[in-house]
A and B are shown apart, each in its own frame.
Chain A
């Protein structure tokens, strides 16, 4: 393969990596906040994609326009999921974390079933959007516009999150609750409110990711599976609870996945990613930027 081909592979890897990061950051927020493994994360991604598709086909809203709407709807979904499901699951006195796996796993399966029931298992794609099928070519390297848009939105989202966490009261409350759940009541922070809003924010992020993904990826009830698998690795690699870690982790995963195809058969490309994760956590047991 010549240099241009390699450059193409790397460029595609970075763009995809930024998408992975955007998909993963919601997971990281929720993880970091209350130690909850959201096994339905992929299904919420799927929900965001279907919503975007519905808006595009029903109301002729381009996914870029639909994105904030989808983010908003998923924000509300996140709040509801916390209030109705997770809060009850957290009542368990023993093995709280495991029980949350169980309840979110059930939720994920339920959502898949509902999607199949109401929307059929058929594959959908948004064919005519502003960016579909458009590509930017730089020096022989092709950068598809939907992926560029996804990467840009990802970076903006991370920037926004950083500002939210460091400059606003809510962000600081989020940080405080993450560091010490029990003590925050003493400083007047309603833990439940923070958790609910944290879930809302986390799922809003995944909704935004779904909207951008729907621009170039097909949609069906099981689409969440492959992406959520990578999301878990991204979050763990970057460090649970670290938003910056999710960004770095995502880009690294995207790059490594692409680079592995240069040395191994493509069907083994995720092995490179997994091997990297193991290497990182063996040297830094809390991931790259995690705190434990």
Chain B
């Protein structure tokens, strides 16, 4: 379900007009996105504090990851609870290539993306026949296997993890001691990329097929193999983008260990913003991330030091509250306003 409300005067059911309106709507979305991007790009000029920048970077990173997940989960309807596997694949590939072989992270991320794509294709081929919860649990289980294997694999450091060597600031190695602005722009670029891909998918044949299949499961029988192939492609796309995010994270933190990049909580953190913002929508993941991530960070930082668990109480209550009071995602708030504004 897109959040594009086509304004049609009551009583008139245009035919060709509707197509034109839709195309215009699509163009408008691109314009809005460009403006939003420009505004976001200006933020580091205004915000200089390291901690705040850190939160912004994490927010955009999760927005990008959530958007990548959204392609497979929201549009294509395959709910994966194991995307941390791809995140970790990207993080580890980038780290191993850089630390052991001196390969720059830019190439390492590409390698990670390719690895993740191959893994996704394999897993998709095995698991897409599974329905609903069985598929979700299969993804979860596969990610856990990945975590356990890496945790016990000495070559990639096992539990010790991989420490990136300290070096001078450089765009080549994507290492910056204190300046966070480069990381911000990288992750902004990543988000823009995922948004564009989602935008393209939404308007493509794939998007059309997937919406048809979601609305009418029997249609999947007749569309059969075609849909399967497109799902595989979506899985590969989603996985590679997630892996790039993982590679970025490794460069950003400069130290990774299995629990810090492959744990289930990462899989969850890629899904929650989408659900919060609006699953299967273009702007939902960003909206969800913008609300969820700063909240999580601020609550932990300013309430977590006490050791009393109050931060968990507030966080849990908020998450539950939104789910109960606004189950279709917060994007619904904005569609509602727009519709009211349009009708007025």
The short answer to whether A and B are in direct contact, CB under 8 Å, is: yes
List the interface of chain A (C-beta within 8 A of B): 31, 35, 37, 85, 88-103, 105-117, 121, 221, 229, 232-233, 236, 240, 265, 267-268, 270-271, 274-275, 277-278, 281-282, 285-287, 290, 292
Query: How far is A237 from B90 in the complex, measured between Cα atoms in Å?
Result: 30
- Known contacts: A99-B323, A112-B312, A116-B309. The answer to whether A105 contacts B328 by CB under 8 A is no
Task: Tell me the smallest distance from the CB of B217 to a CB of chain A, in Å.
Answer: 12
B142 on the A face (CB < 8 A)? yes
Task: Tell me the smallest distance from the CB of B135 to a CB of chain A, in Å.
Answer: 9
Secondary structure at the B interface, as helix, strand, loop or mixed, is helix
Query: How far is A196 from B152 in the complex, measured between Cα atoms in Å?
Result: 44
Please name all residues of chain B whose beta carbon is closer than 8 Å to the beta carbon of A267 when the two chains form the complex: 148, 151-152
B137 on the A face (CB < 8 A)? yes
Closest to A239 in B: B134
- Interface pair B316/A109, CB less than 8 Å apart: yes
Query: How far is A92 from B268 in the complex, measured between Cα atoms in Å?
Result: 20
Set A88, A107, A115, A287: member contacting B327, Cβ < 8 A: A88
Q: List 17 A-B contacts (CB under 8 A).
A: A31-B133, A88-B325, A95-B275, A95-B280, A102-B275, A102-B322, A103-B319, A103-B320, A109-B312, A110-B312, A113-B313, A229-B144, A236-B138, A281-B134, A282-B127, A287-B134, A292-B131
- Interface pair A274/B142, CB less than 8 Å apart: yes
Closest to A90 in B: B327
Set A35, A99, A270: member contacting B275, Cβ < 8 A: A99
- Interface pair A117/B313, CB less than 8 Å apart: yes
Query: How far is A166 from B248 in the complex, measured between Cα atoms in Å?
Result: 55
- Known contacts: A117-B309, A278-B138. The answer to whether A108 contacts B316 by CB under 8 A is yes
Query: How far is A229 from B143 in the complex, measured between Cα atoms in Å?
Result: 12
Query: How far is A87 from B280 in the complex, measured between Cα atoms in Å?
Result: 23
- Interface pair B148/A240, CB less than 8 Å apart: no
- Interface pair B138/A281, CB less than 8 Å apart: yes
Set B132, B137, B152, B328: member contacting A93, Cβ < 8 A: B328
Please name all residues of chain B whose beta carbon is closer than 8 Å to the beta carbon of A281 when the two chains form the complex: 130, 134, 138
Please name all residues of chain B whose beta carbon is closer than 8 Å to the beta carbon of A278 when the two chains form the complex: 126, 138, 141-142
- Interface pair B324/A88, CB less than 8 Å apart: yes
- Interface pair A92/B327, CB less than 8 Å apart: yes
B181 on the A face (CB < 8 A)? no
B276 on the A face (CB < 8 A)? yes
- Interface pair A221/B133, CB less than 8 Å apart: no
Task: Tell me the smallest distance from the CB of A202 to a CB of chain B, in Å.
Answer: 15
- Known contacts: A285-B131, A285-B134. The answer to whether A107 contacts B320 by CB under 8 A is yes
Please name all residues of chain A whose beta carbon is closer than 8 Å to the beta carbon of B314 when the two chains form the complex: 113
